[in-house]
Structure 1
């Protein structure tokens, strides 16, 4: 990783500048973020696209992360999508997905690579159809080694089991096995009542165990969910320090509020993979009926290894209509928030929309973003509440939507 990228990640994460246990946590998290964090992004693109009313006239700026949402937005064929991320791993993964959608011969091969993500022939698919069309830096990245094996081989060995999130879910499954949990009962559930019974019988008791309660109260234990120390602290503060209750409720929502046959986030949590035959729930970009629309739209996307504030600072005024910030603002200081919203407001078209998530429930912007900026926007409470209720990932405390006045 370049020194510039390391500095950008550090600037985004470090909120404790002097040395302390808090600053050490910041630095450990920043170090993790230099590699692959999210093989799958954990924000629901379907509820996002509905709340935003995403359409063909839109010019989108979003956080790239693992690429599932950026690719899914393309199925709506917006005019342009600019995806940014501080992690070089995420940037290369997004660019690989775009090239693969354009070059692979059919949906079956695309699904083998990014749906199954564990087929022996996937390395050959990459070598024949995708890697030759990437630039030399990207080819070197995927042909390079990670723990003595070539990075591209991860797609033949269960890609969703890698990265910080994949490792975290592996640890969750280990704890579940120790506790006697059998996830096949959840995956074969026929009704929401069956799912709720599974949660009450098998998952809820885990949250009463000393091991889970001890681990949940340590900041580093949630690094695997991509929750930095500052966000953990806000989450705990919103829950009056009862972090275990927050995690239990969000797990309940994940496993109980949506039919298992429609929630690919629950599938990944319980199975660490999508359904092998492709008949289970998947992100929109992996659905067969969306493949041709996705392929046609790949040329409209740009992926950049930069901060979203810096990218917007170079964009023309009134040139963007949709901003998807994920939970990035939870990481930010007041000065960073003000700088971001100054550029969002400057580049926003009339009627532009901004969607973001928060670890806690409340909107974090009032009182932190200068009033002269925030007063140019309207908070859409009904749409925010609907998006939060419909977000199948269930990991966040709130989904928030702002609309540009005028």
Structure 2
């Protein structure tokens, strides 16, 4: 579902304040943010995801860090736009599990197209990108990334926010279309009555308030690639050696979050990077998971948690202290921008 992670890792790192030697639980997803957290020198990261394909992807990324050089990593993932990335896959193929090998052996076309663009989420954005180009123009989309931040509000008002754009957002981000392309159960408990209006507001925020030139999430959505020098922290060359050295500190677990937490010892975890995992979970799973977090958390353990549309809030539980000011600051600065709520907090 996710070839990349779509949550801003800088927000997670500011919320979690990971210290050298900490033990961390994180959602695997595309693996990007798990790898970024290694830069804060945790002793261990338990990466949990219910989808085995996400574990296979992390295996592949880990193998690339261990067995390839930096240019080889970039080529394998398709970052540089070259077409022989399957050749790099063959180099690391025998170092990953049989299940992961079988999964990727059957998907050679993904490597040739650029692996980081082949998740379900990324393929949805590719469709949306082509439609946006019809609505606002491909030159306008590219021009956005050449602007100074102070130029973006006027550019949006004068060049972007026309009737075609507003119609696109109403239709392209409607509950019906999103549910058909992704998974309708994700939106069963949505707080938003009008999905199009909701996502239009989020889009306006990122297009006018956050520097586009520094936003690799936005460039992937609008351009289908990283723009200029803006790319995830884990893919920056200066971090390659550090991540390679620490990458075996990550333990990948394929399980629902509640089962992944049940397997952990009492009083063993310092920080929880929870993405928006409870968006896709029934309320009872959220309640069980909160109980397990309380059990496995060390005193003062920190949490980072997002919501896209579903009303799942740690702040409504007396056992958690959510910092509303920090949460709002991080939500407003989140380059991933698709999330409606961010909670930065700790165990009470």
Q: State TM-score, norm by structure 2.
A: 0.91
Q: For residue 12 of structure 1, what is the aligned residue in structure 2?
A: none
Which residue in 1 is equivalent to 2:157?
200
Backbone CA RMSD of aligned residues: 2.2
Structure 2 vs 1, CA of residues 218 and 381 (structure 1 numbering), >3 Å: closer, same or farther? closer
Cα–Cα, structure 1 residues 174 and 305, in superposed 2: closer, same or farther, change >3 Å?
same
Looking at structure 2, the residues matched to 215 and 153 of structure 1 have their Cα atoms a distance apart, in angstroms, of 27
Secondary structure of 1:343 counterpart: helix
Paired with 1:400 and 1:392, the residues of 2 have a C-alpha distance of 16
Q: Is the 8 A contact 2:94 2:101 kept in 1?
A: yes
Q: Kindly tell me: are residues 140 and 117 of structure 1, through their superposed partners in 2, closer, same or farther at Cα, counting changes over 3 Å? A: farther
Deviations 1:178-230 (A, max 9, x none): 224221111222x1233333322344223432x54244333332665x67545
Would the alpha carbon gap of residues 377 and 221 (structure 1) be closer, same or farther in structure 2, given more than 3 Å must change? closer
Residues in 1 aligned to 2:159 and 2:31: alpha-carbon distance in whole angstroms: 32
Distance 1:376 1:217, change over 3 A: closer
Which residue of 99, 102, 116 maps to 1:137?
99
Q: How does 1:316-355 map to 2 (within 5 A)?
A: 316-355=265-304
Structure 1: how far apart are the matches of 2:45 and 2:178? 34
State the match for 1:370 in structure 2: none
TM-score of the aligned structures, taking structure 1 as reference length? 0.79
Distance in 2 of aligned mates of 1:91 and 1:376: 31
Residues 48-57 or 180-189, more deviating: 180-189
Out of 82, 105, 113, the position equivalent to 1:119 is 82
Separation (CA, whole Å) in 1 of partners of 2:234 and 2:340: 25
Say whether the 8 Å CA contact 2:189–2:309 is kept in structure 1. Answer: no
Partner of 2:329: 386
1:264 lines up with 2:216 in the alignment: yes
Counterpart secondary structure, 2:3: coil
Tell me, yes or no, if structure 1 residue 49 matches structure 2 residue 13. Answer: yes
Stretch moving more, 307-316 or 199-208 = 199-208
Give the C-alpha shift of residue 115 in structure 1. 5.6
Local SS of the residue matching 2:272: strand
Q: How does 1:3-14 map to 2 (within 5 A)?
A: none
> Is the 2:16–2:272 Cα contact (8 Å) retained in structure 1?
no
Unaligned runs of 5+ in 2: none
CA apart distance, 1:99: 1.4
* CA-to-aligned-CA distance 1:241-276 (integer Å, 9 cap, x gap): 23322111111222222222211111111111113x
Query: Please, which of 274, 282, 291 is the counterpart of residue 226 of structure 2?
Result: 274
Q: Secondary structure at the match of 1:350?
A: strand
Gaps of 5+ in 1: 1-36, 145-150, 368-373
Asked if 1:312 corresponds to 2:253, the answer is no
